[in-house]
Structure 1
Amino acid sequence: MCGITGIYAFNMIGRVSMINVANATAALEKRGPDFQDIYNDNTVALGHRRLSIIDPTPEGHQPLWDMGKRYGIIFNGEIYNYRELKKELLAQGMQFQSETDTEVLLNLYINEGKACLNKLNGFFAFAIFDYQEKSLFIARDRMGIKPLYYLLDDDRLLFASEMKSIMEYGITKELDFTALHTYLQLNYIPAPKTIFKHVKKLLPGNYIEVKNGEVTIEPYYTIPYDRSKTTELNYEEQKKKLAELLESSVQKRLVADVPLGSFLSGGVDSSVIAALAKRHKDDLHTFSIGFQDEKFFDETEYARSVAKKIGTDHTVFSLTNDDLYKHVHSILDYIDEPFADSSAIAVYILSQETRKHATVALSGDGADELFAGYNKHAAFHRILEGGSAANMVGALQPLWYLLPKSRNSSITNTFRQLHRFSKGMKMTPKERYWTWAGFVNESNAMKLLSDGSKNKLDQQQYTDFKSELLKHIPDKETINDLLYTDMQLVLPDDMLTKVDRMSMANALEVRVPFLDHELVEFAFQLPVDSKINGSIRKRIVQDTFRDILPEELYNRPKKGFEVPLLKWFRKEMRHTIENELLSDSFVAEQGIFDVRTTRQLKKKLFSSNPGDVHAQIWGLIVFQHWWKKYC
């Protein structure tokens, strides 16, 4: 796991930017604290920061060159099947000078070109330079586990693992107001857009090739999904296949020359991963995070129960609201593009504490998107199934509107969910998905913008962007259609972004066994009723591994990995909100947001019925802090 950056210059103007590659590489220090090196010639500059995981010797330093010194690579990620690939390459006469997966990847590319991507099992973003042809090849993994930003203009192609590195090249920081409008709704920015108009995210399963003066950006992989076809395996056979695929995936992800552990939240997903890992690693160490002051959010008792049953060395990091406040400025400082999933705070602290014991951690990310684990999936299922209960909830919408709604207690959270459900019943499938994916609807997000910002928003571009994101949801949707959209949108741009940024801020590599592409492809062959029915979500995951987990993990509400923001905002952060980041004078001077609307949001935050406004406030805090630092 590392940080990469580079530039391909098309002309003399582009070459001027090469002087910035050292600063761009240094900006990625936290991703790779172990070593830094740079390559620079008249065409290409490559920078690499290393976090040593496999073969931590100097032979694994990058940029790494083949034995003929024609091809050089910078690589962020892990190739789990590198040993098998190395055997194939050795049999074909290729030679190696290290024990790294990086060199295997390089030689595989030399041998097979871009077709090598189809043979890789792992997660990655890498760039390979052919000195003889002066060509450059860049690729991102199938699911988007590892990030890659790029900027392409007439003079140069810039790329990097993080936006802060791209900014070191002296780019024009022009806001993309379509991206901003979307961010205000979702609290993150979907690819390929970024907050800056001229910077893009390379989509998962895509590559960039620069050859003979031409730049090509193409997909090499999409998740195979035919909504009209499902597996012929019966349910028992499906469970057996899932067990085999997931255990194999976990086993592959235990390869490391450094200490390795596993996150254990107390939910089914991370518990399954930890239990399977323990079968192949006797000294497995597991890690959990809990909240002393907010028992509603604390699931550590379940994590302890799992650790006891499977026999791991278990560590719980128990936090107070004061602990959150102590870390918030470090988190905000690391965020180099607005991203406001508040659970990132907990992931940051969990990663920081875990890094004291391990350099690699396994996680259960991806299971909810593959097997229908979120509340919205259950709500969609109830609407699609129909029935008197769903109709009654819809009929009582005026009541839900009046009752207090908040995520901060069981009762008010139930009112919040019933209100969202009743509104969603009256929407089209696309609008329902979009509404339930976000925190703020389009009209309220628009009200947040100042008149000047509204004038800069291209409404047609926004409509086209939204349509592209929702293109896989038909007029008569199934749960699998929604999950397929989750895999394109929520997973890479929210969940995986959160884990990558917060873990790499602490030089911790996180591996996600549920996202092995073979397992993902199997999941999209399963019928809906293998994943969800009227009484259970992630049905096949729960049923397959029921015997290896404590019974108390089952039949309890899903809480998610949230943090208790409301009390924090009302106490420790109140001065910052009212007198600094969202003060009337600062908002007016900045000119991006509407002063009257931000004033109303602050009033609601400190009222007796705040609803979900604290999520919206957090989105604004993140943006304002980012804007002050970078713009």
Structure 2
Amino acid sequence: MCGITGYIHLSNNAPDLKKNLETATQSLKFRGPDNQATFLHQSVGLGHTRLSIIDTSEKANQPMTDQTGRYTLVYNGEIYNYRELAKELTIDFSSTSDTEVLLYLLIKEGKECLPKLNGFFAFAFYDSKEESLLLARDRMGIKPLHYYRNKDFLAFGSEMKALFSFPIPRQIDQSSLYWYLRLTYLPADMSMIAGVKKLKPGHFIHIANSTVEIDSYWDFESQNLFNGHYSDAKDQTVKLLEQSVQRRMVADVPLGSFLSGGTDSSAVVAMASKFDKDLHTFSIGYRDHDFFDETNFAELVAAKFNTNHTTFSLTNDDLLNSLSGVLSYIDEPFADSSAIPTFILSQHVSKHIKVALSGDGADELFGGYYKHLAFQRSGESNLPNHIIKWLAPLLKSLPSSRSSKSGNLARRAAKYAKLMQMKSYDKYWHLASFNPSAEELMINPPDAIIINSFIDQYHLGNDEINLNDFLDLDLKIVLPGDMLTKVDLMSMANSLEVRVPFLDKDLVAFARSLPPHYKIDKNRRKTVLQDAFEYILPKELHHRSKKGFEVPMLSWMKNELNASINEEVFDQEFLDEQGIFNSSQVMLLKDKLHSQNPGDVHSTLWTIYVFQVWYKKWMA
């Protein structure tokens, strides 16, 4: 796990970017504290910061150049099948690193080798003879890659802060702002800075003779449905996860696992304990908020598999005190509040190990969220659905909030009632959106054509989609934009590598092939995954409700963060001078925050708050 950055000139008028490269590389020091270096040759500059995981010797440092001096690679990630790929190469390797294997595989096959890679990565591969540069990103988007291009040069980096080191105009992209306000994160290839893009998962950029080619090497092709028995599907799920975990246990530094107490991370720990009899596991709990504390389940799993377990028990003060660390590290607005406990967990865990396994990706593959259940059930014609439709006006008026059991139930019921009036493709965007009226908050919102053009790129040609289609949309939109971005940013802020076994290419292909009723059956989510591990995990975990990483944001905004929210969000003079947000609409949020029915207003306020803190640091 590392940080990469660099540039390539596209014209003779390109500015001298050598000093910019040094600054950009230095900005990524947390991603790679073990070594930092740059490479310069004619029109190209490459920078690398290293977090040493496999072959920690100097021989594996980057930028790495081949024996002839022609080819150079900077690379962020891990290729888990590098030993198998090394057998295809007749090379006398000077290191035992996956970096060197990737370098020589690229020399031999170029971009044609990309579908062979099983792992997570973003890299830049330079051919000094051809003056060409190949950039690529893994198929699921686990590792990030931002880039900016004008007529004179192209610059890239693992994080936006690296690009801020280059001469790039800092202007807000209004379409990106709209989707950020609506979703709380930036989806797909969007960036908050006009002209900056993220390379899409499964894509590459090839630059030669000042010509820039962007294309995909992998996409979500239609999958033949698994036609075996349900028992076969369970067995195959366990088998593929075990194989995936085993691949991800390769490291020359201490390795452990996150353990939340849910099925996903617990299944990963169950498999990892087979290969490490002294496996270290880590969980966090909320001492001041029992509703979201799941550490008792994590401790049951740790006891069953005899792991070396550590629980970090947090108070509200611990969460609040971490806000500055979270907000100071992010270099693009990102308002998923679960980033806060993820940051704290990574901070604590990084003091013990350098590599952690996690259960991320299972929900998107197997249907683990309430929205998946809501989607599946909303198409049924039954008495409960008819009753909810009839009660829709009443449900809309009930006090709703994510911060209490009753309020959360009312919130979900009201959203579900609205859901049943929609076509299934529209249901996806309804369920994905935290603030569907985002344009009302903006002074210059994008027009409907621009908004719909983004939605239409994911349209399958039919307004009626099934659960597997819904999950594929999550894999394309939510997973790389939100979940994987959160884990990458918060772990890298603490120099910790996080590996995600559920996103192994073989397990992803298998999960996508399973019929929808294997994933959601009546009121049960992730059915096949839960049943596959029913007799492996402690019985207390089976069929229990999912809670996830939540923080008491509504309470904070009314109390501990009240002064800060007033300063950053409700300063009308600043809002009017800034010219981005509709100040009258923003002020209405203040009244709702302190009303008897705040609903999800705290989510919208947090989204604006994060943006404003970011704006004052990076744009003012």
What TM-score, normalized to structure 1? 0.96
- Does residue 27 (structure 1) correspond to residue 8 (structure 2)? The answer is no
- Does residue 502 (structure 1) correspond to residue 490 (structure 2)? The answer is yes
Task: Give structure 2 stretches of 5+ with no counterpart.
Answer: none
Look up the equivalent residue of 1:449 and give its one-letter code: M
1:162 equivalent among 151, 159, 162? 159
- Does residue 460 (structure 1) correspond to residue 455 (structure 2)? The answer is no
Q: For residues 303-337 of structure 1, give each alpha carbon's deviation from its aligned partner in whole angstroms, at most 9, with x where no partner exists.
A: 11111111111111111111111110111111111
Q: Is the 8 A contact 2:11 2:153 kept in 1?
A: yes
- Does residue 365 (structure 1) correspond to residue 360 (structure 2)? The answer is yes
- CA distance in structure 1 between the aligned counterparts of 2:501 and 2:426, rounded to whole angstroms: 32
Determine the structure 2 residue equivalent to 1:62: 62
Q: For residues 285-309 of structure 1, give each alpha carbon's deviation from its aligned partner in whole angstroms, at most 9, with x where no partner exists.
A: 1111111111111111111111111
Determine the structure 2 residue equivalent to 1:448: 441
- Partner SS, residue 402 of structure 2: coil
Q: Is the 8 A contact 2:423 2:464 kept in 1?
A: no
- Partner SS, residue 48 of structure 2: strand
Determine the structure 2 residue equivalent to 1:490: 478
Determine the structure 2 residue equivalent to 1:118: 115
Determine the structure 1 residue equivalent to 2:209: 212
Q: For residues 573-612 of structure 1, give each alpha carbon's deviation from its aligned partner in whole angstroms, at most 9, with x where no partner exists.
A: 1111113443222212211111111111122212332111
- CA distance in structure 2 between the aligned counterparts of 1:581 and 1:259, rounded to whole angstroms: 43
Determine the structure 1 residue equivalent to 2:415: 420
Q: For residues 411-437 of structure 1, give each alpha carbon's deviation from its aligned partner in whole angstroms, at most 9, with x where no partner exists.
A: 111111100000111112222211110
Of residues 414-423 and 601-610 in structure 1, the stretch that sits farther from structure 2 once superposed is 601-610
- CA distance in structure 1 between the aligned counterparts of 2:381 and 2:471, rounded to whole angstroms: 20
- Partner SS, residue 288 of structure 1: strand
Q: Is the 8 A contact 2:355 2:497 kept in 1?
A: yes
- Partner SS, residue 136 of structure 2: strand
Matches within 5 A, 1:65-214: 65-89=65-89, 93-214=90-211
- Partner SS, residue 484 of structure 1: helix
Q: How far off is 1:373 after superposition?
A: 0.6
Determine the structure 1 residue equivalent to 2:36: 36
Matches within 5 A, 1:397-412: 397-412=392-407
2:242 equivalent among 240, 247, 257? 247
- Does residue 433 (structure 1) correspond to residue 428 (structure 2)? The answer is yes
2:520 equivalent among 508, 532, 552? 532
Q: For residues 32-61 of structure 1, give each alpha carbon's deviation from its aligned partner in whole angstroms, at most 9, with x where no partner exists.
A: 111100011221000000000011111111
- CA distance in structure 2 between the aligned counterparts of 1:542 and 1:387, rounded to whole angstroms: 26
- Does residue 598 (structure 1) correspond to residue 586 (structure 2)? The answer is yes
- CA distance in structure 1 between the aligned counterparts of 2:423 and 2:14, rounded to whole angstroms: 48
Look up the equivalent residue of 1:310 and give its one-letter code: F
Matches within 5 A, 1:279-298: 279-298=274-293
Q: How far off is 1:616 after superposition?
A: 0.8
Q: How far off is 1:366 after superposition?
A: 0.5
Q: How far off is 1:212 after superposition?
A: 2.8
Matches within 5 A, 1:286-325: 286-325=281-320
Q: For residues 227-251 of structure 1, give each alpha carbon's deviation from its aligned partner in whole angstroms, at most 9, with x where no partner exists.
A: xx41221111111211111100000
Q: Is the 8 A contact 1:176 1:195 kept in 2?
A: yes
Bigger helix share: 1
- CA distance in structure 2 between the aligned counterparts of 1:252 and 1:386, rounded to whole angstroms: 45
Report how many aligned residue pairs link the two structures.
Answer: 619
What TM-score, normalized to structure 2? 0.98
- CA distance in structure 2 between the aligned counterparts of 1:29 and 1:286, rounded to whole angstroms: 26
Determine the structure 2 residue equivalent to 1:11: 11
1:575 equivalent among 540, 556, 563? 563
Q: Is the 8 A contact 2:568 2:609 kept in 1?
A: no
Q: For residues 424-478 of structure 1, give each alpha carbon's deviation from its aligned partner in whole angstroms, at most 9, with x where no partner exists.
A: 111122222111101111xx3121112xx24xx344222201221x313732211
Q: For residues 317-370 of structure 1, give each alpha carbon's deviation from its aligned partner in whole angstroms, at most 9, with x where no partner exists.
A: 111111111110111111111110010001000000000111000000001100
Q: Is the 8 A contact 1:359 1:508 kept in 2?
A: yes
- CA distance in structure 2 between the aligned counterparts of 1:522 and 1:613, rounded to whole angstroms: 39
- Partner SS, residue 405 of structure 1: coil
Go from structure 1 to structure 2 and tell me whether the alpha carbon gap of 1:298 and 1:324 turns closer, same or farther (over 3 Å shift): same
Q: How far off is 1:15 after superposition?
A: 4.0
Q: Is the 8 A contact 2:379 2:420 kept in 1?
A: no
Q: Is the 8 A contact 1:15 1:42 kept in 2?
A: no
Q: For residues 175-225 of structure 1, give each alpha carbon's deviation from its aligned partner in whole angstroms, at most 9, with x where no partner exists.
A: 110110111110011121111120000000000001233211000001332
Question: Identical aligned pairs, as a percentage?
Answer: 50
Determine the structure 1 residue equivalent to 2:388: 393
- CA distance in structure 2 between the aligned counterparts of 1:602 and 1:350, rounded to whole angstroms: 32
Q: Is the 8 A contact 1:177 1:458 kept in 2?
A: no
Determine the structure 1 residue equivalent to 2:504: 516
- Does residue 261 (structure 1) correspond to residue 256 (structure 2)? The answer is yes
- Does residue 562 (structure 1) correspond to residue 556 (structure 2)? The answer is no
- Partner SS, residue 396 of structure 1: helix
Of residues 380-389 and 51-60 in structure 1, the stretch that sits farther from structure 2 once superposed is 380-389
- Partner SS, residue 274 of structure 2: helix
Determine the structure 1 residue equivalent to 2:536: 548
- CA distance in structure 1 between the aligned counterparts of 2:364 and 2:160, rounded to whole angstroms: 26
- CA distance in structure 2 between the aligned counterparts of 1:446 and 1:317, rounded to whole angstroms: 40
Moved over 6 A (4+): none
RMSD: 1.2
- Partner SS, residue 196 of structure 1: coil
Determine the structure 1 residue equivalent to 2:614: 626
Look up the equivalent residue of 1:144 and give its one-letter code: G
Determine the structure 2 residue equivalent to 1:356: 351
Q: Is the 8 A contact 2:86 2:101 kept in 1?
A: yes
- Partner SS, residue 142 of structure 2: coil
- CA distance in structure 1 between the aligned counterparts of 2:363 and 2:64, rounded to whole angstroms: 37
Matches within 5 A, 1:335-346: 335-346=330-341
Q: Is the 8 A contact 1:577 1:583 kept in 2?
A: no
Determine the structure 2 residue equivalent to 1:225: 222
Go from structure 1 to structure 2 and tell me whether the alpha carbon gap of 1:100 and 1:80 turns closer, same or farther (over 3 Å shift): same
